[in-house]
Amino acid sequence: MVFWIATTIFIISYGLIVSEKLDKTKVALIGAGLMMILKIVSQHEAFYHEKYAIDYNVIFLLIGMMIIVNILSKTGIFQFLAIKSAKLAKGKPFLILIYFTCITAILSALLDNVTTVLLLVPVTLFTADELELDPFPFLISEVMAANIGGTATLIGDPPNIMIASKVQLTFMDFIYHTAPAVFFIFAFFLLTIKFLFGRKLQVREELSQKILAIDEYKLIKNSNLLKKSLCVLGMVILGFITHGIFHYEPATIAIFGAAVLLIISKEDPHQVLRELEWPTLFFFIGLFIIVGGVVKVGLLSKLSEGMISLTKPSAENMFFTAITTLWFSALSSAIVDNIPFVASMIPLVTDTAHAVLPPGMDVRSVIQHSTLMPVWWSLALGACLGGNGTPVGASANVITIGLSEKAGYPISFKKFLVYAIPITMETIIISNIYIWLRYYIFVKILVSPQGIYQ
Amino acid sequence: MKIKDIMDPSPNLIRTSDTFEHLIKILDEVKYHVVFVVDKEDKLVGIVTEGDIIKVLIPKYIRVDESLISVMDANYFERKCRENRNLTINNIMSTTTFTVSEEDTIIKAAALMVVNKIHTLPVIRGGKVVGIIPRLTLIKHITKVLSVY
């Protein structure tokens, strides 16, 4: 009975989130409330249990980074970088497109995708307007780059944060495993945009000269604040790089960095905290409790049985599980929000591992087992990159389309899909090849049979 | 007292198919710097204020990121004026129009202006514009009221 109640709450919540009939934060919170009121999970379990509770690592990492980005965004550095790069490109539109795309990818890897596009889209529209060009090639390339760049690091995209927290992975694990994939994906992506837009982007010399005449330093609003913000951001990134060595969780580093920046920047904390993405944070909180409920009643263990019979994983080889996870995650993330999807997939993959791997191993050895790791990387790549597939696949897409429409350049659902589907397919195919070559071909040649993680 | 007692019965009208250039020409001649937009059947469909005209010339991305004002081309305004010469009125006008009828009370007009932060109201009969009530008319009416009592 409890099983069916929990499953019903999960399915209805998921359905309402997908349909967008009700605000997703409201849905997640009412679903979580029902899970606790109906005692499927007790409040203690929802708040403190190792397996069923809210993942505070994710929540506080997001809060910390949101505070740092909020203060950094007030300095004008994003707009400065864009104009500086446009001048370095000598006002040549295609080169500007490439530079903007690279800046978006790098900033998205280090900060959050939504803030990156929120700050770069207006300056992109400005540049396109100055060059008297249609901004669409710039906007579509940037939004795709934001999602690709975000895939590279632990902090780049929420799915990575969630996977890292549950699987106890470090920042450097992502640098070693998803970042190389992103490097190849991004290289092919740049070739693709060259093929798609290279010839279209031509302007008269006088328009290029206009870009060169812009004084980009006027965009820096507060250079003192900028120095402090960059200093803290640098230290935080250094903290992420070394957190595995010093045994700190990423959330500790992000919150500490945010606190230091709040103090040295002298910004009003009330103002900064008011501007955080609270609906997103409460969406996470609600979702964790809902997923905790269905994990507790065993729904995800049952689903993992289906996954096992479908992909036939073994303690020695999970190739088909990894590839199925990659494609299924990409498809799902293109259609639905990747956050609830990944929140459900993590316990599903964990249960699969527990069922397949030899009994008697401790939890960490199971979730970080060498045969299981490619499945986690597939989940990260599929869930992050799949977000590019449709206009609603990722928050960055929704924000870019919204801003573009507000600025008088509406991007239709169909026009977005025409570019997004082939690019997403390309990125997933490259991911597929990467997973296959790196973990199933080269690993046999390069690494001892004991595996790479043990 | 009613609207018909104080309204100005000669509102300035323009058609949705007219151009930006035409609008600017007639704006020089109008009394209140507001024109009402009518369709082929002379029915009211919108309003154009000075604010709407300036809005056309300002890039919309500025509303999302004001900092870009500092790097905009010095001749942007003039360039946009020329570019928009043939823009039709339906791309300039605001469509949310509050109206009053001749038989409405003056307090209704005053309340609509305050609540909706508007300066001018069209007076409508059968969907057609028959008059105009700007704030100035209300002020003149106040003067009249005070001088009587």
pLDDT at B1: 85
The arithmetic mean of pLDDT across residues A375-387, rounded, is 94
CB-CB under 8 Å, B60 with A126: no
Separation CA A151–CA A158 (nearest Å): 9
* C-beta separation of A388 from A427 below 8 A: yes
**In chain B, residues 99-118 whose CB comes closer than 8 Å to chain A:** none
Q: For residue A249, is pLDDT > 70?
A: yes
- CA closest to B64 among chain A residues: A122
Q: For residue A375, is pLDDT > 90?
A: yes
pLDDT at A447: 52
- CA closest to B60 among chain A residues: A407
Q: Quickly list DSSP for A327-357.
A: HHHHHHHHHS-HHHHHHHHHHHHHHHHHHHS
pLDDT at B149: 65
The pair of three-digit structure tokens given for residue A411, joined into one six-digit string? 């991007």
CB-CB under 8 Å, B65 with A122: yes
Q: Quickly list DSSP for A382-416.
A: HHHHHTTSSTTSSHHHHHHHHHHHHTT----HHHH
pLDDT at A453: 45
pLDDT at A337: 76
pLDDT at A446: 56
In what helix (H) or strand (E) does residue B125 lie, and over which residues does it extend? strand B120-125
pLDDT at A448: 45
pLDDT at A171: 92
Separation CA A247–CA A264 (nearest Å): 26
Q: How far is CA A348 from the centre of its chain?
A: 20
A–B interface: beta-carbon pairs under 8 A: 46
Give the minimum alpha-carbon distance from A349 to chain B in angstroms, rounded to a whole number: 42
Burial class (CB in 10 A: 0-12, 13-18, 19+), A209: exposed
**In chain B, residues 40-69 whose CB comes closer than 8 Å to chain A:** 59-65, 67-68
Separation CA B6–CA A193 (nearest Å): 64
The pair of three-digit structure tokens given for residue A145, joined into one six-digit string? 């780059």
Q: How many CB atoms lie within 10 A of CB B114?
A: 10
pLDDT at A444: 65
pTM: 0.82
pLDDT tens for A409-430 read 888 888 999 999 999 999 999 9
pLDDT band at A454 (very low <50, low <70, confident <90, very high): very low
Separation CA A140–CA A414 (nearest Å): 13
pLDDT tens for B56-101 read 889 888 887 888 888 888 888 998 899 999 999 998 999 867 999 9
Say which range, A7-16, A288-297, B57-66, has the weakest mean pLDDT.
B57-66
* C-beta separation of A304 from A351 below 8 A: yes
* C-beta separation of A142 from A404 below 8 A: no
The arithmetic mean of pLDDT across residues A286-303, rounded, is 87
Separation CA A447–CA A419 (nearest Å): 39
The arithmetic mean of pLDDT across residues A71-97, rounded, is 92
Alpha carbon separation from A79 to A5, A126, A157, A217, A372 (Å, rounded):
50, 10, 22, 10, 42
Top pLDDT among A243 and A300 is at A243
Name beta bridge partners: B101. B124
pLDDT band at A363 (very low <50, low <70, confident <90, very high): confident
Q: For residue A449, is pLDDT > 70?
A: no
Reported as half-sphere exposure (CB side, CA atoms, 13 A), residue A150 has a value of 31
Alpha carbon separation from A302 to A116, A295, A296, A297, A321 (Å, rounded):
39, 10, 12, 10, 16
pLDDT at A18: 78
Nearest neighbour of A122 by CB, restricted to B61, B70, B73: B61
CB-CB under 8 Å, A218 with B68: no
pLDDT band at A358 (very low <50, low <70, confident <90, very high): confident
Using a CB-CB cut-off of 8 Å, the residues of chain B touching A121 are 61, 64
Give the minimum alpha-carbon distance from B89 to chain A in angstroms, rounded to a whole number: 16
The arithmetic mean of pLDDT across residues A329-355, rounded, is 86
- CA closest to A125 among chain B residues: B61
The arithmetic mean of pLDDT across residues A358-371, rounded, is 85
The one-letter amino acid at A379: L
Say which range, A161-170, A175-184, B25-34, B87-96, has the weakest mean pLDDT.
B25-34
Alpha carbon separation from A448 to A367, A374, A445, B91 (Å, rounded):
20, 17, 8, 69
pLDDT at A445: 62
- CA closest to B65 among chain A residues: A122
Q: For residue A443, is pLDDT > 80?
A: no
CB-CB under 8 Å, A210 with B71: no
pLDDT band at A452 (very low <50, low <70, confident <90, very high): very low
Mutation site for A-interface testing, chosen from B56, B63, B71 by largest number of A Cβ within 10 Å: B71
CB-CB under 8 Å, B73 with A218: no
Nearest neighbour of B71 by CB, restricted to A125, A219, A408: A219
pLDDT tens for A174-225 read 999 999 999 999 999 999 999 999 888 888 888 888 889 889 999 998 999 9
Mutation site for B-interface testing, chosen from A73, A126, A212, A401 by largest number of B Cβ within 10 Å: A126
pLDDT at A315: 77
pLDDT at A421: 94
pLDDT band at A450 (very low <50, low <70, confident <90, very high): very low
Top pLDDT among A12 and A338 is at A12
Nearest neighbour of A407 by CB, restricted to B60, B71, B72: B60
